Amino acid sequence: MAFRCQVQNLISQDTFLRKSLSSRSPAGSNGRVSSFNGVQSRDLKLAITLPKQSARSKQDVKISCAFTDRTFAAEEAHGGEPIDPETTALVMIEYQNEFATEGGKLHDAVKGVMESNNMLERSVAVCDVARAQGCKILHTPISFNADMSDNPNKGLGILAGCAADQLFVRGTWNAEICEPMTPKEGDLQVVGKTGLDAFPGSNLEELLVENGIKTVALGGFLTNCCVESTMRTAYEKGFNVVTLKDCTAATSEGEQEGATNASYNFFSTPMTSDEFIEAIKGSA
């Protein structure tokens, strides 16, 4: 999260102000800070703009702050760039028994679309090829405490359903990654996902940045919920975003088509798994 401050009507003792602000940032005006005015974030940055010399008379200090949540600044955004396997990650969302395996509480709801587009088998295949080409695979499960105390909005919508039906309870078979998508050596696992969008509260962005990722390819459940939510955020953060249309599943064909043929086009480059495989092989 970038944190920018503009200081207006500075006091004459700007040395004090500089010390006060810079003391919150171990690395000075562009350093990382752990907290500022009660806001805590491992990625918080403080940028301070002060004139060389302020007025001699004491004045009130006004600090206007704007929070942005971009991984890449506008001039660094990667949308539309050619896909380079070395800087590409497949973010595979909620391939868990609850959805993907017979006996999961939500399996019957997505089974029809899973079978119609061969979603699970295609997901396994595209991950195998992607690994061989040098892409990173990020397994991205959702899970909750048994009492749903970490459910971020358990009184409304689909998260209310997760709470009421005790879905994806941490430590249960239902929350485990399904056998066909068992992580392999070199894969990474996202932890901390308790909402629909895979970014808030998790280490997803940290893993992407640490591994130099510019292109994010998304697959998983649900097509028009967690995959779409994550797609929109990745797009806003400046990643090059690909959605793997036949590696997703929704609860109906209508919802599947509505997302993959409409909203996906606004925030990503929709591809079939075969098209994606061709793209990463062609770049080698």
- Give residue for tokens 């086009």: 265
Question: Strands 62-68, 45-49: parallel, antiparallel or unpaired by DSSP?
Answer: unpaired
As to burial, measured by CB atoms within 10 angstroms (0-12 exposed, 13-18 middle, 19+ buried), residue 16 is exposed
Radius of gyration of the chain (CA): 22
| Coil vs helix vs strand at 45 | strand
Q: Show pLDDT as tens, one digit a residue, over the chain (284 residues).
A: 443 333 333 333 343 333 333 433 334 333 333 333 333 343 444 333 444 444 444 444 444 333 458 999 999 999 999 999 999 999 999 999 999 999 999 999 999 999 999 999 999 999 999 999 999 999 999 999 999 999 999 999 999 999 999 999 999 999 999 999 999 999 999 999 999 999 999 999 999 999 999 999 999 999 999 999 999 999 999 999 999 999 999 999 999 999 999 999 999 999 999 999 999 998 76
Q: Nearest to residue 178, comparing CAs of 168, 164, 186?
A: 168
pTM: 0.78
For the chain, helix, strand, coil in percent to 5 are: 35, 20, 40
The kind and range of the H/E element at 220 are strand 215-221
The confidence score (pLDDT) of residue 282 equals 87
**Encoded tokens for 168:** 């994806």
The confidence score (pLDDT) of residue 40 equals 37
Query: In 30-67, which positions are buried (b, 16+ CB within 10 angstroms) versus exposed (e)?
Result: eeebeebeeeeeeebbbebebeeebeeeeeeeeeeeee
Q: Nearest to residue 25, comparing CAs of 5, 9, 7?
A: 5
Q: Which long-range contacts (CB under 8 A, 24 or more apart) does 19-23 make?
A: 21/46, 21/48, 22/48
C-alpha distance from residue 18 to each of 25, 31, 58, 207 (Å):
11, 14, 15, 33
CB 61 within 8 A of CB 54: no
**Rounded CA separation 249/264 (Å):** 14
Per residue in 97-117, pLDDT tens?
999 999 999 999 999 999 999
The confidence score (pLDDT) of residue 284 equals 61
Amino acid at 90: L
The confidence score (pLDDT) of residue 15 equals 39
**Rounded CA separation 224/239 (Å):** 19
Question: Strands 39-40, 35-36: parallel, antiparallel or unpaired by DSSP?
Answer: antiparallel
CB 133 within 8 A of CB 186: no
What structural domains and CATH numbers belong to the chain? 2-68 (no CATH), 85-282 (3.40.50.850)
